[in-house]
């Protein structure tokens, strides 16, 4: 019994780890336009990230004011430019900040740095080295959009891919597919609200609700296929609204979309505690997928869609999302299946896990619907 208790507790910790370890995703948005030897651009960096790196909140009141940003202007410029190096045909380009403004993104306020630069000669091939925040946060990502020779390039800049080169005939289809597939996978693995929604679906996946209560799934294959079907229905619906929004064909206010996402998280957890729906869960997952797709579209819009290979980019992003979700099914369901008959699984995993998902979803909804700050993530 003690051994079973330890295993059940370990399983609970494994399931809760993504939520406990995750935090608000850290991204900056870098746009560059190279015309001959001249370059212009804009770089949006989250104020919370700059505060972590160089300290903006002088009076430590938890709020960063425009006055504090202006006071730190020189330090912001120096810090940002020290983390970005550009070369045109293997020769260094000079870059400076011409203006600093405040920009609002869905996840908070950003310092918007207008950039201007010059290379020694007309650029045929551009090399870029990006090192912003990697020493403080290995999960930080730079989302780059570059226009060079009338070709539009996009790239996700990470610690292991911070140096990139552009030029030639434009981005290949394979490069576009690889970049957006990786971004789709990354979205699932680092998106806390997405992970909690999936947790709400996965927690009861090896138990079937009947009128007499929870019954154990009779075999692993059935549990895996049922969960995979629910996840796939979610992804197909999610891909529909994501594609429509990313192409600019539809648009919904981000505040209410994010609040609706929080409501789906709360429902996923609460439905395990009080069975509101226990049949046709794939249809419910599909309905919620429409909401999640609208929210995720903002990440894809920020990354940008290439002019060439747009269909490949959208397909790759959605394939990445599906691959990440199915990989979680393949890992989590067999683990939970081994403990499905244990009372401890229901008491130490299903019940507290569902309460956690419900509580966080409700708090997120209140935060997002009423523009409050209740949680630190």
- Examine the domain organization and report whether 6 and 35 are in the same domain: no
- Examine the domain organization and report whether 41 and 13 are in the same domain: no
pLDDT at 56: 94
Per DSSP bridges, beta strands 207-210 and 163-167 are unpaired
- Examine the domain organization and report whether 204 and 287 are in the same domain: yes
**Residue 186 included in any domain:** no
Q: Count of CB atoms within 10 A of residue 355's CB? A: 14
- Examine the domain organization and report whether 153 and 235 are in the same domain: no
Mean pLDDT over 24-30 rounds to 82
- Examine the domain organization and report whether 205 and 348 are in the same domain: yes
Compute the distance between CA of residue 195 and CA of residue 201 in angstroms, rounded to an integer.
Answer: 10
- Examine the domain organization and report whether 107 and 245 are in the same domain: no
Last residue of a domain, one of 136, 171, 206: 171
- Residue 184: CB partners within 8 Å, gap ≥ 6? 316, 317, 318, 319, 320, 321, 322, 323, 324
| Structure confidence by residue, pLDDT tens digits, 204-215 | 888 877 666 777
More confident residue, 346 or 113: 113
Confidence band for 49, pLDDT divided at 50, 70 and 90:
very high
- Examine the domain organization and report whether 339 and 212 are in the same domain: yes
pLDDT at 22: 41
Confidence band for 6, pLDDT divided at 50, 70 and 90:
very low
**Residue 85 included in any domain:** yes
Determine contact, residues 76/62, Cβ cutoff 8 Å.
no
- Examine the domain organization and report whether 33 and 18 are in the same domain: no
Confidence band for 72, pLDDT divided at 50, 70 and 90:
very high
**Residue 84 included in any domain:** yes
**Residue 216 included in any domain:** yes
pLDDT at 376: 57
Query: How many Å separate Cα 170 from the centre of its chain?
Result: 27
Mean pLDDT over 347-351 rounds to 88
| Structure confidence by residue, pLDDT tens digits, 112-162 | 999 999 999 999 999 999 999 999 998 899 989 898 887 778 788 989 888
Confidence band for 13, pLDDT divided at 50, 70 and 90:
very low
**Residue 44 included in any domain:** yes
Compute the distance between CA of residue 274 and CA of residue 269 in angstroms, rounded to an integer.
Answer: 9
**Residue 201 included in any domain:** yes
Domain of 102 in residue numbering reads as 27-171
**Residue 177 included in any domain:** no
**Residue 184 included in any domain:** no
Half-sphere exposure of residue 320: CA atoms within 13 angstroms, side-chain side:
23
Last residue of a domain, one of 137, 171, 205: 171
Weakest-pLDDT range from 4-18, 242-256, 306-320 = 4-18
Confidence band for 4, pLDDT divided at 50, 70 and 90:
very low
pLDDT at 2: 47
Share the mean pLDDT of the chain: 84
Number of domains in the chain: 2
Determine contact, residues 51/75, Cβ cutoff 8 Å.
no
Confidence band for 374, pLDDT divided at 50, 70 and 90:
low
Compute the distance between CA of residue 351 and CA of residue 338 in angstroms, rounded to an integer.
Answer: 17
More confident residue, 318 or 34: 34
More confident residue, 130 or 170: 130
- Examine the domain organization and report whether 95 and 50 are in the same domain: yes
pLDDT at 12: 43
- Examine the domain organization and report whether 212 and 306 are in the same domain: yes
pLDDT at 279: 72
| Structure confidence by residue, pLDDT tens digits, 194-250 | 889 988 988 888 887 766 677 788 888 888 888 888 888 998 998 899 888 878 888
- Examine the domain organization and report whether 12 and 39 are in the same domain: no
- Examine the domain organization and report whether 155 and 216 are in the same domain: no
Last residue of a domain, one of 113, 137, 171: 171
């Amino acid at each position: 019994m003690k051994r079973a208790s330890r295993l059940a507790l370990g399983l609970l910790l494994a399931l809760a780890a993504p939520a406990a370890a995750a935090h608000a995703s850290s991204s900056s948005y870098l746009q560059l336009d190279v015309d001959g030897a001249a370059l212009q651009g804009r770089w949006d960096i989250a104020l919370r990230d700059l505060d972590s790196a160089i300290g903006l909140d002088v009076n430590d009141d938890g709020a960063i004011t425009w006055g504090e940003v202006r006071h730190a202007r020189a330090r912001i410029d120096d810090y940002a430019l020290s983390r970005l190096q550009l070369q045109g045909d293997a020769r260094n380009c000079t870059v400076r900040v011409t203006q600093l403004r405040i920009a609002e993104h869905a996840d908070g306020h950003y310092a918007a740095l207008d950039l201007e630069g010059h290379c020694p000669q007309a650029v045929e091939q551009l090399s870029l080295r990006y090192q912003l925040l990697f020493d403080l946060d290995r999960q930080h990502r730079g989302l780059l959009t570059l226009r060079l020779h009338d070709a539009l390039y996009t790239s996700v800049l990470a610690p292991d891919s911070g140096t990139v080169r552009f030029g030639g005939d434009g981005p290949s289809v394979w490069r576009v597919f690889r970049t957006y597939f990786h971004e789709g996978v990354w979205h699932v693995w680092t998106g806390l609200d997405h992970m909690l929604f999936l947790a709400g679906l996965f927690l009861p996946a090896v138990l079937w609700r009947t009128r007499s209560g929870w019954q154990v799934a009779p075999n692993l294959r059935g549990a895996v296929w049922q969960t995979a079907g629910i996840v796939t229905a979610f992804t197909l619906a999610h891909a529909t609204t994501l594609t429509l929004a990313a192409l600019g064909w539809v648009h919904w206010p981000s505040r209410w979309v994010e609040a609706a996402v929080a409501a789906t998280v709360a429902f996923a957890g609460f439905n395990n505690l009080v069975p509101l729906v226990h049949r046709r869960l794939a249809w419910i997952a599909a309905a919620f997928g429409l909401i999640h797709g609208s929210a995720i579209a903002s990440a894809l819009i920020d990354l940008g869609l290439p002019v060439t290979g747009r269909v490949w980019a959208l397909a790759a992003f959605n394939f990445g999302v599906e691959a990440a979700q199915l990989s979680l099914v393949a890992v989590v369901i067999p683990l939970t299946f081994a403990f499905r008959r244990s009372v401890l699984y229901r008491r130490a995993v299903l019940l507290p896990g569902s309460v956690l998902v419900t509580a966080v979803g409700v708090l997120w909804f209140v935060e997002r619907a009423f523009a409050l700050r209740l949680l630190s993530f």
